[in-house]
Structure 1
Amino acid sequence: MSAFHGQFVWYELATLDAPAASAFYRAVIGWNMKDAGLPDREYTILSAGERPIGGLMALSQAECKAGAQPGWIGYVAVEDVDAMVARIADAGGAIVRPASNIPGVGRFAIVDDPQGAVFAVFRGGGDGTMAPAAPDTPGGVGWHELLAQDRKSAFAFYADLFGWGVGEAVDMGDMGIYQIFTIGGVPIGGMMTRAATMPAPFWLYYVNVDRIDAAIGRVREAGGRVVNGPHQVPGGSWIVPCLDPQDCMFALVAPTR
């Protein structure tokens, strides 16, 4: 089995306005951006320094009419995309986009978990390796959070597929239990049952920045909004969930206020 099986290796934003989204995230996070040179659509590679970490693309009218929604999606590395898609369907998930190839890159599929949270599974071309960025990479994604319909059954689903381990269970009071999950004993994210005010289950990705207050200032100056916070979390880091100008949700995490 690949050393990267079950790890998030790519993050992608589908947006209604690609130029505006590019300008926003360049201003807020400082990603380097370049065109991927795909033959069939414009696709912007997002890099933290020299390290590619994700992509950005505009949704077409046909995709919107078919029900596609703007937002961020995480790609999880797997050994066999087709076999994993079958397992996801057998476990009650849904296939949003069937498995297909990206010439010269790899094979992927977009799916919903049984509670409706969307994610992607991916295998790189060649030997299938695509190393994730280190969790503390500036401009990289440092944390992965699932707001589930039911935390316990969601954890069981993902643990069975990807071998995620059980980390610390943090009591959040009225908000319930926040269950941290691990890969190889290393915490990479957490899951909790969503609040009743949230419209649907979803994955939220936390991007590393230097200082949370300075980053909040950049979000507001660039036309985004802060959902709430900032909040200090166990371990001392500061976090804040935000909306970009197209109302796509993302989050920021920093070691200092």
Structure 2
Amino acid sequence: MTNPHGSFIWYELMTPDPDAAKSFYDAVVGWDIEAQPAGEMDYRMITIPGAGNAGGVLRLTDEMQSHGARPVWLGYLGVDDVDAMITAVEHAGGKTLMPANDMPGVGRIAMIADPQGAPLYIMKPTPPPGNESVVSDVFSVDETRHVRWNELATSDPDAAITFYKRHFGWHQEGDMDMGDMGKYRFLQHGGVAIGAVMPTTSASQWRYYIGVDDIDRAIAAIDAGGGKVVEGPHPIPGGEFSLHATDPHGTAFGLVGPRKS
């Protein structure tokens, strides 16, 4: 893939029940998650009907959960050199959660935690034969059924911003005052607004906001599917609304979209 170093190139839901995830997210977002895995590993593509893929779903096995894995959404950052990035992350105070390994036909991948503890993948993808110039479009600032915003809640916003600017080529410009909660500081990459950083007193983590066609329709689907709206919907600049929610397994995610009713 030819996305610049530091781009979000994939999103993955880790869950103990991919079948339940398909039922829930297909209804909420409008996806068509694969009903069955294509290979030996239970990994299913999140497909956007008529528009490619939005990410993947990995089944959490009992063994994974016995080693501490929990249901979570994780983002993948494309990097020029996975091993060099692991070294840089560790020197900066971060950790390697999963050592680098090569996945045939997919690429070289590792899981890290930034210096404040927020986990994410880093990856040097292998482009499809004959399509070496392919670009990942799983992140979009305005398309429904794609991740549209990447939000980092962190124990140390200043240090986190310095880390991602230095190692992934991001920028930080502009903010919004949240009163006692501090500042909501906007992030850019390649001139595109990709998300924001905010302070938290809880564990540092990323939250990903998925675009939907109608926030009220999505809320009804969350309720019907056994999920829970935790906060919102709140109006955001541009006339749309955002919310925080959890799926039936307690996995946190966000939604953003218009209100049509």
Matched, 1:107 2:113: no
Matched, 1:222 2:261: no
TM value normalised by structure 2: 0.92
Q: Secondary structure at the match of 1:210?
A: coil
Q: CA deviation at 1:38?
A: 2.6
Contact (CA 8 Å) 2:3, 2:78: kept in 1 or not?
A: no
- Matched positions, count: 253
Question: Can you list the C-alpha shifts for 1:198-236, whole angstroms capped at 9, x where unaligned?
Answer: 3x1110000000111111111101110000111012332
Query: In 1, Cα distance between the equivalents of 2:256 and 2:75?
Result: 17
Contact (CA 8 Å) 1:138, 1:209: kept in 2 or not?
A: yes
* 5+ long unaligned stretches in structure 2: none
* 5+ long unaligned stretches in structure 1: none
| Matched residue, 1:158 | 164
Contact (CA 8 Å) 1:6, 1:76: kept in 2 or not?
A: yes
Q: CA deviation at 1:63?
A: 1.1
Q: CA deviation at 1:167?
A: 2.1
Indicate how the Cα distance of structure 1 residues 183 and 82 shifts in structure 2: closer, same or farther if over 3 A, else same.
same
| Matched residue, 2:154 | 148
Please list, as runs of the form range in 1=range in 2, the aligned pairs for 1:1-257 lying within 5 A after superposition: 3-34=3-34, 35-39=36-40, 41-49=41-49, 50-126=51-127, 130-133=135-138, 134-194=140-200, 196=201, 198=202, 200-256=203-259
Question: Can you list the C-alpha shifts for 1:159-213, whole angstroms capped at 9, x where unaligned?
Answer: 111110112111111111011000122111000101x3x3x11100000001111
Indicate how the Cα distance of structure 1 residues 2 and 89 shifts in structure 2: closer, same or farther if over 3 A, else same.
farther
Q: CA deviation at 1:76?
A: 0.6
Contact (CA 8 Å) 2:3, 2:135: kept in 1 or not?
A: no
Q: Secondary structure at the match of 1:155?
A: helix
The residue type equivalent to 1:162 in the other structure is: F
Query: In 1, Cα distance between the equivalents of 2:168 and 2:150?
Result: 14
Contact (CA 8 Å) 2:141, 2:193: kept in 1 or not?
A: no
Root-mean-square deviation (CA, aligned residues, Å) is: 1.7
Q: CA deviation at 1:141?
A: 0.2
Query: In 2, Cα distance between the equivalents of 1:168 and 1:256?
Result: 26
Identity %: 40
Query: In 2, Cα distance between the equivalents of 1:220 and 1:256?
Result: 17
Q: CA deviation at 1:71?
A: 0.5
Q: CA deviation at 1:129?
A: 5.5
